[in-house]
Structure formats: C-alpha cells, structure tokens
C-alpha cells in the first residue's frame, strides 16, 4: 500500500498517542506528535523547550507560529514524502488546520482525518489515572476546555472537506486499533 497521510483527532485521553504509534508501525508512516516534539525540546532544555514548558504546564496551547514552524520543518523531510505521515496533536485549531492544507498539498494532501471518539466523562477519568507530570486536575480541565473550544470545530471543518472519519474509541486498545485500520483501509481503497 502506498504512503498514507492521516490526521488523528481525539480528546486528550482518547488513546490517540498509543493508536498513532501502532498505526505508524502498521502503515510504515512516520508518527509526528507535536506534544512529543515539545516534550523533547523541554527535556533538551532548548530555547523552544524553555518557552514551551510553562505553557504546557498550564495546559495552554503553544503559539501557532511556533507550532506551525516545527510542523512545517518536519513535513519537509524526505520520509514524509516517501512514507506518508500520521499527525497526532496537530492541527489543534482552525488556524493550524488552514495552514496544514498548504503544507500537505505538495505531498499529495490528506487521505483522512480520523476522529477517535470517547465521551468527556470517560477521558476525564482516564487522564486522572494516567497521572503524567503535566496532568494536574487544573491542567486536565484546561486542556479539555480548550479542546472543546479550539479543536472540536475541526470536526466540522474536515466534515466539510469530506475527510472526516469517526471511530468509536471505547473498548480495548486492540478493538479500537482494528476499527481504525478498517476505517483507514476503506478510505485508502477509495482514493
């Protein structure tokens, strides 16, 4: 199968990161997670990391020009052209999504935007149990609120472009993964 180019959407705690890693292995496409890139920059103590650390701890979004800049650089690498891409955590708002259209066009555009759907109560509980360093109750609430306000509108944005695929995110990791692969294969089969 030729290179697949996908965006994964889903509330924090929907299992997006885990599924992105597995899909990336399954399709041989690089997994690009802006959250992972920012966490790496924080760990390395780079200038970007120092700016991002405080913002991430609050559960706020890193400014668009910074985020779009790192994604633009990453998408320009050869592996994306030859092996495709699994975008996880980007885009997070309509500005980023509009920018992504321009960045994805030269590499063939997106095949699908897959929304892993998990109800709010369920993700809240999952995130509390996950207990990552930046998962304070305040940060969790802030991220979920930002998701509803900034990221949810992308569902309509991509529905309008006929790219949206919704997959039920409840069940075991394997069940959700199988649903994702079935959905992506169907879309790829049509393209």
Rounded CA gap, 29 and 9, in Å? 17
| 74 is a contact residue toward ligand AMP (CB under 6 A) | no
Name the E strands within 10-154: 31-33, 84-88, 112-117
Cβ 8 vs Cβ 88: under 8 Å: yes
| 42 is a contact residue toward ligand AMP (CB under 6 A) | no
Rounded CA gap, 180 and 189, in Å? 14
| 92 is a contact residue toward ligand AMP (CB under 6 A) | yes
For residues 117 and 134, which CB has a smaller minimum distance to ligand AMP in the complex?
A: 134
| 151 is a contact residue toward ligand AMP (CB under 6 A) | no
Q: Which residues pair with 111 in a beta bridge?
A: none
What binding mask, one character per residue, do residues 111-130 give for ligand AMP by CB under 6 A, x or -?
Answer: --------------------
> Of the candidates 29, 62, 75, 164, which one interacts with ligand AMP according to CB under 6 A?
62
Q: Which residues contact 140 (CB under 8 A, 6 or more apart)?
A: 12, 59, 124, 127, 128
Q: Which of 23, 49, 50 has the alpha carbon at shortest distance from 36?
A: 49
| 35 is a contact residue toward ligand AMP (CB under 6 A) | yes
For residues 69 and 191, which CB has a smaller minimum distance to ligand AMP in the complex?
A: 69
**Positive/negative CA dihedral, 43, 132, 68, 62:** negative
| 15 is a contact residue toward ligand AMP (CB under 6 A) | no
For residues 58 and 188, which CB has a smaller minimum distance to ligand AMP in the complex?
A: 58
Which residue's entry shows tokens 């998408």?
Answer: 75
| 38 is a contact residue toward ligand AMP (CB under 6 A) | yes
The piece of 21-29, 58-66, 78-86, 109-117 that touches ligand AMP (CB under 6 A) is 58-66
Residues of the shown chain interacting with ligand AMP in the complex, contacts defined by CB under 6 A: 12, 34-35, 38, 55-56, 59-62, 67, 89-90, 92, 96, 143
């Amino acid at each position: 199968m030729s290179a697949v180019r996908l965006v994964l959407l889903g509330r924090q705690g929907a299992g997006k990161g885990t599924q992105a890693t597995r899909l990336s292995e399954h399709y041989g496409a690089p997994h690009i997670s802006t959250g992972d890139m920012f966490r790496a920059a924080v760990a390395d103590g780079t200038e970007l990391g120092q700016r991002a650390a405080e913002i991430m701890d609050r559960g706020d979004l890193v400014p668009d020009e910074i985020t779009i800049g790192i994604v633009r650089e990453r998408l320009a690498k050869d592996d994306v052209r030859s092996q495709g891409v699994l975008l996880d955590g980007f885009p997070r708002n309509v500005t980023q999504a509009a920018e992504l259209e321009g960045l994805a066009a030269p590499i063939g555009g997106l095949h699908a935007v897959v929304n892993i759907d998990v109800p709010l109560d369920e993700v809240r509980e999952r995130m509390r149990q996950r207990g990552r360093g930046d998962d304070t109750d305040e940060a969790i609430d802030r991220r979920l609120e930002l998701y509803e306000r900034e990221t949810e509108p992308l569902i309509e944005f991509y529905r309008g472009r006929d790219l949206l695929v919704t997959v039920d995110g409840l069940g075991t990791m394997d069940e959700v993964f199988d649903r994702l692969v079935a959905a992506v294969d169907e879309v790829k089969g049509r393209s």
